[in-house]
Amino acid sequence: MRDATLKYLLVLPAVLVVLATAIWPLIESLRLSFTVGRLNRPGSLDQYLGFENFAWAFLYEPAFWNSVTVTAIYTVLTVALTTILALGLALLLAPGGRFRSGVQALLILPFAMSPALIGVSFRFMFNPEFGLFDAFFGVMIPPLADVSWLADPVLAFAVCVMADVWGWIPFLTLVLIGGLASIPQDTIEAAQVDGASGWRVFRDVTLPQLAPVLGVVVILKSIFSLKTFDQIFMLTNGGPGTATQTLSHYIYFNGMKYGQIGYAASVAWLMVIPMIFLTYAYARFVFRRP
Amino acid sequence: MDNPLVSFTGVSKRFGQVWAVKSLDLSITRGEFVALMGPSGCGKTTTLRMLAGLEEPTEGTISIGGRVMNGVAAHERDTPMVWQSLALFPFLNVRENVEFGLKMRGVAKEERTSRAKEWLDRLGMSDFGDRGIEQLSGGQKQRVALARSLVTEPEMLLLDEPLSALDAHLVIRMQGVLSSLQRELGITFVYVTHSQSEAFSMADRVVIMGDGEIAQIGPPREIYRRPATRFVAEFVGRNNIFEGEARGNSLHSPLGTLPLPVTAFGPAVMAVAADRVSANRDRPGEGPSVKGRFLSEEFSGTSILCYFEGSDGSTIKAQVDEEALDLLAPSHGEVFWISWSTDAAHLVGS
């Protein structure tokens, strides 16, 4: 057999798997987004509506806009908090930082937990009767003593943000430690002998050189925050009410619970828009020429 | 020394179990060009870093201008430094690099710009202010690094092997730039290097360090002609070392009995510089001489170094000029008489 033919034959199984599990579902979901697509209505999967599903989401669905708002606030808060806290930790743990030995291994633990498991444990720890955090915050902040965290819209949202930040800090810290380690120590010392205090060294020398890594961290975390589902599903299931319903949870609810597959598909494709922007920005950062 | 700018008093530095610098005493006067020279790991860079405030001495005190600097952070001292890697900021352009120290000291924007321009002009870099660091050649980067360190008009400049990354011809040119800058500005230069030619051609005084200690301090000629120890004699290079037992006016060595320039007794080491040694087919009438088999020659531009093997297997070096080598026309294995005058020999500490 000729080499040219053989190489295509060898790669064919992989191509078939990708086609069946990624490409076909993508195309099918795009097709469904233009249909009535109700699981309980036979034939509706082939009943085309044009852009009606999209228009419906924009014009007549406050729940859609609610999930957009929740997702936006959730993304901004989790990205900002995780990045800032991870940067602080990375500065302490990086080579030459204050707490180096041994702690790095501990750091990886939260990252080793699945998001769903983090959701379950946080729900458990904020249980009003026997939850550890519930009791802890009750003592630390007396007005919160008798509050049921997960029943309060604002506090439940705060718990979701806390769980996400807790779970993501380790990974981002490790990435930033790597970034810090690649900054030439000479430039830091050169700044010191040129009269830069600790804060000025950080602001004028460390930060500009860490910027490319920070950029990647922020973009990656934004992508992950935007698509958050499992943790929210296990922790609050979008509630109370729709207070913590992110876009992916909204899509899941409409598609799987109410059987509105066509509508869910159209919202899912709307979510692709910010994702494309972020992925493009990520690619720019990662593959840009030095 | 009256009113030194810098003084190290009993300064030691330990890293883990290793003493990088051991009870160092050194004074440097204002306007002096001092070179710290020694092999890798001799403690010269650690000494410089302690002066800059980048390392804290384990023991002893360092004072600058009469003020004890122990515990004073690097950014609170006025000790800018030029690095082997140059350590320019890659995210700033040439002018911003030069302005950095002024910016950190809160100098206003207009003054910063004009002073940076003045220094870039002075170092022949006025057309490069807006360039990125990566667009510069090695020599240009070197000038930017110098401008960045000098723009704050410090009393003292520290240089850590600043020329070791440059091509040979650039090294010579930059040596000229550094020497004339130091003379014009009248500031103190503390220069760390492992290169004998850099240290000897520029410095007023050379500090030879070995194993964390000062082996000898002195003007270049003195160190070259009168090495104090065997280590210095070997490190400075092109010295022949004869070891043996001194008995009054002679040294009894495996190569024979050699006259000593001074009276001494007991184990002794004698150094004779290679350029004070000559090689002949016939035994010279007077003066010390030893036999050596010709091994090889090494051409180094202005002179040629000939290697001979003594009867005890030791290597003897003789520096000759091209004309002398042509007359000698040595062939491998041929035996010569290596001779020198008694006053060219020098007894060194072991």
Domain extents for chain A? 34-104+169-287
Q: What is the DSSP letter of B300?
A: -
Q: Which residues of B touch A211 (CB under 8 A)?
A: 91
Cα separation, A56 vs A62, in Å, equals 10
Is the pLDDT assigned to residue B234 strictly greater than 90? no
How many of the other CB atoms lie within 10 Å of CB of B298?
A: 11
Give yes or no for residue B1 having a pLDDT over 60: no
A289 touches chain B (CB under 8 A): no
Strands in B289-299's sheet, in edge-to-edge order, are: B278-280, B335-339, B289-299, B304-310, B315-320
- The pLDDT of residue B139 is above 70: yes
Mutate: best of A186, A194, A197, partner B, most B CBs <10 A: A194
Question: Three-class SS of residue B10?
Answer: strand
Q: Is A63 helix (H, G, I), strand (E, B) or coil?
A: helix
- Give burial (CB, 10 Å; 0-12/13-18/19+) of B17: exposed
Give the model confidence (pLDDT) of B216-233 as tens digits.
999 999 998 888 998 998
Q: Phi, psi at residue A227, to the nearest 5°?
A: -100, 10
What average pLDDT does the segment A41-60 reach?
A: 87
The mean pLDDT of chain B is 90
Share of chain A above pLDDT 70, in %: 95
Nearest CA in chain A to B105: A195
| pLDDT tens digits along B261-283 | 888 888 889 999 888 898 888 88
Smallest Cβ–Cβ distance between B54 and the set A184, A189, A211 belongs to A189
Please give the residue of chain A at the shortest CA–CA distance from B54. A189
Task: Tell me whether strands B188-193 and B33-37 are parallel, antiparallel or unpaired.
Answer: parallel
Does B190 score more than 90 pLDDT? Answer: yes
> Which of 188-207 (A) contact B at CB < 8 A?
189-197, 200-201, 204-205
pLDDT at residue A149, as a whole number: 86
Q: Answer yes or no: is the ipTM higher than 0.90.
A: no
The C-alpha of B36 sits at a distance from chain A's nearest C-alpha, in angstroms, of 19
Per-residue pLDDT at A111:
78
Task: Name the percent of chain B lying above pLDDT 90.
Answer: 49
Six token digits for residue B96: 């911003």
A238: left (phi over 0), alpha (psi -120 to 50) or beta: left
pLDDT at A97: 62
Output b/e per residue, A229-266; b: 16+ Cβ within 10 A.
ebbbbbbbbbbbebbbbbbbbbbbbbbeeebbbbbbbb
From A218-222, B69-73, B170-174, the region with the lowest mean pLDDT: B170-174
Which of B89, B91, B101 shows the shortest C-beta gap to A195?
Answer: B101
Rounded Cα gap, residues B159 and B238, in angstroms: 26
For chain A, the straight-line distance linking the first and the last C-alpha, in angstroms and rounded, comes to 43
Query: How much of chain B exceeds pLDDT 70, in percent?
Result: 99
Entry pTM: 0.80
Binary contact (B75, A192; C-beta < 8 A): yes
Position A157, amino acid: F
Q: Residue B338's CB: how many other CB atoms inside 10 A?
A: 24
Closest chain A residue by Cα to residue B53: A193
pLDDT classification of A101: cutoffs 50, 70, 90: low
- Which chain B residues are closer than 8 Å to A189 by Cβ? 52, 54, 74, 81, 83, 87
Q: Which residue has the tokens 């949870």?
A: A249
pLDDT band for A236, please (50, 70, 90 cuts): very high
CATH value of A34-104+169-287 in 1.10.10.10, 1.10.150.530, 3.40.50.720, 1.10.3720.10: 1.10.3720.10
pLDDT at residue B57 above 90? yes
What confidence tier does B157 reach under pLDDT thresholds 50, 70, 90?
very high
Concatenate the DSSP letters of all residues of B57-92 into one string: -SEEEEEETTEE-TT--GGGS---EE-TT----TTS
Please report the pLDDT score of residue A251 as a whole number: 94
Q: Measuring CA to CA, which residue among A179, A160, A175, A163 is closest to residue A245? A: A160
Q: Please state the rounded mean pLDDT for residues A104-113.
A: 75
- B100 to chain A, closest Cα gap in Å: 7
Q: How confident is the model at residue A99 (pLDDT cuts 50, 70, 90)?
A: low
Q: Is the pLDDT of residue B45 over 90?
A: yes
- Residue B350: what pLDDT? 62
The CA–CA distances, whole Å, from A44 to A31, A35, A41, A49, B324 equal 12, 7, 6, 10, 106
CA distance linking residue B74 with residue B158, whole number of Å:
12
In this model, does residue B7 exceed pLDDT 80? Answer: yes
| E strand segments, A62-129 | none
Question: For B89, which of A187, A193, A211 is closest by C-beta distance?
Answer: A187
Those of residues 132-191 in A touching chain B at CB distance below 8 A are 184, 186-187, 189-191
- Name the residue facing B105 among A187, A195, A211 (closest C-beta): A195
Q: Which residues of A touch B73 (CB under 8 A)?
A: 192, 197
